[in-house]
Structure 1
């Protein structure tokens, strides 16, 4: 059944039976058979077929995908634990961080974290808050650090610090430089626009803080951003101060491990 679930996860991600077969190195009829078996066991339709190969996930598929990813992560953790018993003590540990935290805060504590956990190989993934929530929910990331106030039923949040948002750039410009939907800063920017009754005459969406900062350095546009990232740019406080909490998150079905506890303590000590 585990092979069926792996096939299902690939179809879910690819939305295509042919692409899933190629990625799994199995035939397309085998892919269809695996999905059929899962649908029989669950009593649910998992995909709505469109054309010969395209597959749109159903609500049942959405739920099963989350559970399957959790099982897959648990299996990988079990393999790692078994390898440790056999003398292989290296542990791969993934931390997801949104851009402001990942670029301006996390590097300041990673050396200390590595010293405390010398047998860990860290993988640091920088993404927006929505992506991090989803990957912590499926346990692809063991822990996440996010700027968004969003919540999820399976996620436990703990505040470790606060930052302030400021206005930077050419305040006479009509062009607003915006982060993409799903990012923490975009959530607060949209709230700021509503509060101040601002309808941008021009806007440009850029999925990178660094790219936005480079635009501002050239004198192009204006934006709302964290005071942690303004560098030597001129900035102004918004009419109403915007102070946002920064969160460490983990899946509540997986108890906090020693590294998560140490990470939270380092964040509190360094930034509170």
Structure 2
């Protein structure tokens, strides 16, 4: 059953039976057999073929994927726990952070966290808020730090700080530099446009705060960004102040662990 689920997750992610077979080093007929067995077990169609190679997951597949990722994560956690029982105290722990938090907040927190948990091997992934929500929901990341006020049924959110947003760059420019859809700052940028009745005549979408800042420092374009990242840039406050909460998020299907508690306490004491 576990092998069937591993195959299913690959098919779901690749949207292609051939690619899933290559990824798992098995034949395509074996992939088809695993999916067939799962469909028989669940009594539900999991994929609909759309053209020769592309497939579309059904609603049942969407639900099964989330549960399968949670099981996969629980398996990894169980292996870590068993290794600790045998005297191997090295624990892998994954933290997801959106870009502003990763650049300006985590560097103040991670050394203290490593001090408290010296036997932990931390993996810090930087992504936009939507991606982090998705990976915390599937428990691919044990904890996430995000700037977006998104909600999800399986997610518990705790505010650890507030961040003010400012207008930065060349205010005479018609060019707006925007993060990609799904990022926390993009949601606030779109809200700002609507609130101020702004329809940008020129805009550029860039999935990197660092690249946006580099362009702004050349005197090109303007944007809405965190006041944490305005070093050396001209900026002004928006007509109506914009203050956003910063959240620690975790999957409420899993018991809160000691590191999640310690991380929250460090964030609160450092930034409150």
Q: TM-score, normalised by structure 2?
A: 0.99
Distance 2:5 2:56 in 1: 17
| Number of the residue aligned with 1:105 | 105
Structure 2: gaps of 5 or more residues: none
| Number of the residue aligned with 1:239 | 239
Distance 2:75 2:49 in 1: 30
Note if 1:89 corresponds to 2:76.
Answer: no
| Number of the residue aligned with 2:146 | 146
Q: Is the partner of 2:228 in helix, strand or coil?
A: coil
Q: Using the TM superposition, give the Cα deviation of residue 55 of structure 1 relative to its aligned residue in structure 2, in angstroms.
A: 1.7
| Number of the residue aligned with 2:201 | 201
| Number of the residue aligned with 2:17 | 17
| Number of the residue aligned with 1:182 | 182
Q: Could you report, residue by residue, the CA deviation over 1:188-223 in whole angstroms, capped at 9, with x for unpaired residues?
A: 000000000000000000000000000000001000
Distance 1:15 1:226 in 2: 37
| Number of the residue aligned with 1:2 | 2
| Number of the residue aligned with 2:266 | 266
Greater shift, 65-74 or 50-59, is seen at: 50-59
Q: Is the partner of 1:56 in helix, strand or coil?
A: strand
Q: Is the partner of 2:229 in helix, strand or coil?
A: coil
Q: Using the TM superposition, give the Cα deviation of residue 117 of structure 1 relative to its aligned residue in structure 2, in angstroms.
A: 0.3
| Number of the residue aligned with 2:255 | 255
| Number of the residue aligned with 2:212 | 212
Q: How does 1:39-118 map to 2 (within 5 A)?
A: 39-118=39-118
State the 4+ residue runs in structure 1 displaced beyond 4 angstroms.
Answer: none
Distance 1:152 1:80 in 2: 27
Q: Could you report, residue by residue, the CA deviation over 1:214-261 in whole angstroms, capped at 9, with x for unpaired residues?
A: 000000100000001111111100000000000000000112111011
Q: Using the TM superposition, give the Cα deviation of residue 62 of structure 1 relative to its aligned residue in structure 2, in angstroms.
A: 0.5
| Number of the residue aligned with 1:157 | 157
Q: Could you report, residue by residue, the CA deviation over 1:154-204 in whole angstroms, capped at 9, with x for unpaired residues?
A: 100000000000000011100000000000000000000000000000000
Distance 1:202 1:42 in 2: 50
Greater shift, 48-57 or 170-179, is seen at: 48-57
| Number of the residue aligned with 1:224 | 224
Q: Using the TM superposition, give the Cα deviation of residue 262 of structure 1 relative to its aligned residue in structure 2, in angstroms.
A: 0.5
Structure 1: gaps of 5 or more residues: none
Distance 2:50 2:233 in 1: 51
| Number of the residue aligned with 2:136 | 136
CA RMSD, 1 decimal:
0.7
Q: Using the TM superposition, give the Cα deviation of residue 93 of structure 1 relative to its aligned residue in structure 2, in angstroms.
A: 0.4
Note if 1:31 corresponds to 2:31.
Answer: yes
How many residues are matched?
272
Distance 1:52 1:238 in 2: 51
Distance 1:231 1:11 in 2: 45
Q: Using the TM superposition, give the Cα deviation of residue 11 of structure 1 relative to its aligned residue in structure 2, in angstroms.
A: 0.2
Distance 2:52 2:188 in 1: 43
Greater shift, 133-142 or 52-61, is seen at: 52-61
Distance 1:71 1:52 in 2: 31
